[in-house]
């Protein structure tokens, strides 16, 4: 186990957003190390249009040594213009130097999820650099150039001592940059889900069944049209979309009486929500980004034995005996009907076994073992 190290995690997510691999790793490492969790920057344009991030803050466990800092606001178009990127990166480097000095951090490990500023890897030449790739960053929409982002990611990969990725497609892409890449798909905190006491959240107690639910971020990759089609096809069904969202997103549903938005759910309460759902969804738009993810929520759904109706994510094809995969909205309606009618107890048991086999404990142990070996090698080098 890695102990008594200073670790900087440069993340793509706010710490208090929906819990993912990034926050879980930060929390685990901070039990026996000092961890500085760096949240991504906003642009001046984003702040002007949407305001500063107001994600609900949940209390941090007092038993861990975790400090959270956010990168400063930067200029837009920095991921398509080399000139603007240089200015943004220079500002971020100065900020990072100041924040490390303020907290007395001398990093032993710099752990990247954000690829946008690879020069951060050279700030601490004595540190072991880890890149844990969980998404195809160049496939994201927005004010970015895929070619520009790929070039930044290539620079980060080539600066890294260890590289991990969540899917075969990501491994193949990153290995083309000349580095060995370890495949480590997402997992689930199985013990947390098995500890649910059977009590439903207060929000759901007055909502009649059947309830079809989704647990996760509600952003531009979400298939709004499919949810509206689903609500029309099943007039007795209520749909709960639980997770952080914007008012612009929820406005697309025109206050539909059977579509509910409870907002962000604290991590320890997620099992009670999924446990109350009758059928769970992964209803994304189908594109190069969404079809190549390692869907954390699938394993969370499995940990509660729940049937999952999902777009045909490549990593889920091996589970089509217990998942309901669809390619079109019409097929999605059919899969939801089958999921609602599911009676086979064996499918639930199989899902539980899949979730148990995907426990974070084993996956994180593998990652940390590779890092420990690299640290030992670096220590013994002249």
The two domains 6-187+359-380 and 190-357 share their CATH topology (first three levels equal): yes
pLDDT at position 61 is: 55
Element (H, E) at 129: strand 128-133
pLDDT at position 267 is: 85
Phi, then psi, of 216 in degrees rounded to 5: 160, 180
Rounded Cα distance between 37 and 231, Å, is: 40
- Each residue's pLDDT tens digit in the chain (382 positions)? 789 999 999 999 999 877 789 998 998 899 999 999 999 999 998 888 777 655 444 445 556 799 999 999 999 999 999 999 999 999 999 999 999 999 999 999 999 999 999 999 998 889 999 999 999 999 988 889 999 999 999 999 999 999 999 999 999 999 999 999 999 999 998 999 998 999 999 999 999 999 999 999 999 999 999 999 999 999 999 999 999 998 899 999 989 999 999 999 988 899 999 999 999 999 999 998 999 999 999 999 999 999 999 999 999 999 999 999 999 999 999 999 999 999 999 999 999 999 999 998 889 899 999 999 988 876 555 4
pLDDT at position 56 is: 46
pLDDT at position 42 is: 92
Q: How many residues does the chain have?
A: 382
> DSSP H helical segments within the chain, as ranges?
21-29, 44-50, 82-102, 146-159, 168-175, 190-194, 224-233, 247-250, 270-276, 296-303, 329-340, 345-357, 360-380
> DSSP H helical segments within 61-220, as ranges?
82-102, 146-159, 168-175, 190-194
pLDDT at position 52 is: 65
The domain ranges of the chain are 6-187+359-380, 190-357
Rounded Cα distance between 367 and 21, Å, is: 12
CATH class of 190-357: alpha beta
Task: Say what the pTM is.
Answer: 0.88
Cα–Cα separations (whole angstroms), residue 227 to 296, 301, 336, 377: 20, 18, 11, 52
3-state secondary structure 200-222: CCHHHCCCCCCEEEEECCCCCCE
Taking the domain 6-187+359-380, which CATH number applies? 3.40.50.11010
pLDDT at position 16 is: 84
pLDDT at position 375 is: 85
């Amino acid at each position: 186990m890695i102990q008594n190290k200073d670790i900087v995690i440069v993340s793509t997510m706010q710490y208090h957003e929906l819990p993912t691999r990034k926050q879980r790793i930060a929390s685990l490492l901070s039990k026996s190390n000092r961890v500085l969790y760096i949240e991504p920057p906003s642009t001046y344009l984003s702040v002007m249009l949407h305001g500063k991030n107001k994600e609900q803050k949940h209390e941090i466990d007092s038993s861990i040594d975790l400090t959270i800092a956010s990168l400063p606001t930067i200029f837009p178009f920095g991921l398509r213009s080399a000139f603007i990127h240089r200015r943004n990166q220079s500002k971020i480097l100065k900020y990072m130097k100041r924040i490390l000095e303020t907290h007395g951090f001398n990093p032993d490990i710099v752990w990247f999820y954000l690829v946008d500023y690879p020069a951060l890897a050279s700030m601490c030449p004595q540190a072991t650099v880890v890149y844990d790739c969980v998404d195809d960053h160049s496939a994201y929409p927005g004010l970015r150039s895929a070619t520009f982002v790929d070039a930044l990611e290539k620079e980060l990969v080539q600066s890294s001592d260890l590289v991990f990725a969540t899917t075969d497609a990501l491994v193949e892409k990153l290995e083309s940059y000349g580095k060995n890449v370890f495949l480590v798909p997402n997992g689930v905190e199985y013990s947390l889900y098995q500890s649910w006491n059977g009590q439903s959240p207060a929000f759901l107690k007055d909502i009649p069944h059947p309830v079809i639910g989704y647990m996760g971020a509600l952003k531009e990759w979400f298939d709004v049209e499919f949810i509206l089609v689903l609500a029309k096809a099943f007039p007795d069904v209520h749909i709960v979309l639980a997770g952080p969202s914007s008012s612009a997103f929820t406005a697309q549903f025109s206050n539909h009486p059977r579509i509910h938005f409870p907002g962000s759910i604290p991590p320890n309460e997620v099992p009670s929500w999924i446990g109350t759902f009758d059928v769970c969804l992964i209803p994304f738009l189908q594109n190069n980004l969404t079809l190549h993810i390692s869907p954390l929520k699938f394993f969370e759904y499995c940990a509660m034995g729940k049937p999952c109706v999902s777009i045909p994510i490549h990593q889920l094809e091996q589970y089509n005996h217990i998942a309901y995969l669809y390619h079109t909205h019409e097929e999605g309606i059919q899969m939801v009907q089958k999921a609602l009618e599911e009676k086979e107890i064996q499918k639930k048991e199989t899902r539980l076994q899949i979730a148990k086999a995907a426990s974070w404990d084993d996956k994180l142990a593998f990652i940390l073992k590779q890092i420990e070996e690299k640290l030992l090698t670096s220590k013994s080098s002249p």
